[in-house]
Structure 1
Amino acid sequence: MPAATHVPEGPAMGPWLRLACAVLPVAATAVIGSVSTQAEIFGWYAGLAKPWFNPPDWVFPVAWTILYTMIAIALWRLLGARPLTGPSRGGWRLAVAAFAVQIALNAAWTPVFFSAHAVGLGLIVVAALLVMVLWTIRLTWRFDRAAAWLLIPYAAWVAFATILNAAILRLN
């Protein structure tokens, strides 16, 4: 009778593929955001009435650069925490799927708000984004707590963005 082989728990993908899968969607989201806002910051957006707590324009790219870095690291960690077998594998897949949905909503908000000038629809998208980021944190917690913690500032910023979007909608 042959000896049973043991497959060690660990990442299911090589380090370079894992890095690409973590960085590329986040970088694409950042590029979409940048392209969607550049023409609008000094035009349409500048003409909107904004609440007293609206930060100066320079704060947004600084904050998003830091947050996107943290998001990519969190995804890289989550992808490395993948269980190969067992009942938690489905939960890991759900965490990765939630991560993908929140990144897609993140990528969608900027063109909706800035390019389409759809402040109301932007509020719906950013509120859905907040729900998905919180759910992603909850699901990720089971597999990599550091990854979940890396997403907390992102959730806080998206919560602020939701309030800001709502205030801009109300004022305009």
Structure 2
Amino acid sequence: MKKANLTKIILSISACVLIGFLSSFATRSSVDTWFLTLKKPFFNPPSWLFAPIWTILYILMGYSFSIIWNNKGQSRKSKEIIKNAMMLFGIQLALNAIWSILFFGLCNPFLALIEILLLWLMIFETIKAFKKVDVYASKLLIPYLVWVSFATILNGSIWFLNS
């Protein structure tokens, strides 16, 4: 396992937390209005749980990315693998932010469900790509995949119960 330097760690974690913070504006717009009117499954967690879980996940994501970013790669092929892994990470991070806009901003659980399935696939692909560079960095993304798996089931259940 290669460690990342402190600057890359701080920048990576800050970027992930900032994306989460900015996407939360879409959440705030309807979490106390539209979302309260929805039928939810019995396993819907309390609202206060989401912020700390996402904060931890964004920190893990950022640290994971910093490890990949710090990896120099010796050959042209290894540099391409690193570049691909970083690109996949960026795509999944953008999809992560878009989900809040679709679900809460547009109040559209169906579109959000389609999008979160794509997000899940991109996280899975990112984990596979990170594993080629650093196994530890890939393992740091597993809690994120588990949470998004749960969120996908929750999103699907909310859509089903309200359609």
Specify the alignment match of 1:60 in structure 2. Answer: 50
Q: TM-score, normalised by structure 1?
A: 0.86
**Is the contact between residue 27 and residue 104 of structure 2 (CA under 8 Å) also seen in structure 1?**
yes
Q: List, as ranges, runs of 4+ consecutive aligned residues in structure 1 with deviation greater than 3 Å.
A: none
Deviations 1:34-62 (A, max 9, x none): 21112322111111000111101011111
* Secondary structure at the counterpart of residue 142 of structure 1: helix
Relative to 1, partners in 2 of residues 1:62 and 1:24: Cα closer, same or farther, differing over 3 Å? closer
Specify the alignment match of 1:5 in structure 2. Answer: none
Work out which of the two has the higher radius of gyration on C-alpha atoms and give 1 or 2. Answer: 1
Q: TM-score, normalised by structure 2?
A: 0.91
Q: How many residues align?
A: 161
Distance 2:45 2:148 in 1: 14
Tell me the amino acid that sits aligned with residue 57 of structure 1. S
Which of 111, 115, 124 aligns to 2:105? It is: 115
**Is the contact between residue 74 and residue 148 of structure 1 (CA under 8 Å) also seen in structure 2?**
yes
Structure 1: segments with no counterpart, 5+ residues:
1-9
Distance 2:93 2:57 in 1: 12
**Is the contact between residue 78 and residue 143 of structure 1 (CA under 8 Å) also seen in structure 2?**
yes
Distance 1:164 1:82 in 2: 39
Relative to 1, partners in 2 of residues 1:171 and 1:39: Cα closer, same or farther, differing over 3 Å? same
Specify the alignment match of 1:30 in structure 2. Answer: 20
Of all paired residues, the percent bearing the same amino acid is: 33
Q: Which has the higher helix share?
A: 2
Counting only pairs closer than 5 Å after superposition, residues 41-120 of structure 1 correspond to structure 2 as: 41-120=31-110
**Is the contact between residue 128 and residue 138 of structure 2 (CA under 8 Å) also seen in structure 1?**
yes
Aligned Cα root-mean-square deviation (Å):
1.9
Which of 158, 162, 172 aligns to 2:148? It is: 158
